[in-house]
Amino acid sequence: MALRYKTRKRLSLLILILGVPLYIIAAVSLVAQFDRPSIFVELAIYVGLGVIWAFPLKAVFKGIGQP
């Protein structure tokens, strides 16, 4: 089922304003549960978590710049 442009635009705005900050807080809290790893391991964790959130939401953000 394809979402209409207006619905995708509103949903993407909601995700960016509420979802991403909540995801950042969750990611930082998750990493804080462990002893501080080396800087490269920590960087890899944050990059991995930064990429993972985008895959399920690809359909929402696809084509937002064009009606």
pLDDT mean across residues, the chain: 84
Interior angle at CA 64, CA 57 and CA 55, nearest 5: 20
Structure tokens at 63: 């084509």
pLDDT for 25 equals 92
Judge whether residue 36 has pLDDT over 80.
yes
Q: How far is CA 42 from each of CA 9, 16, 34, 52, rounded to the nearest angstrom? A: 33, 24, 10, 15
Full-prediction pTM beyond 0.75?
A: no
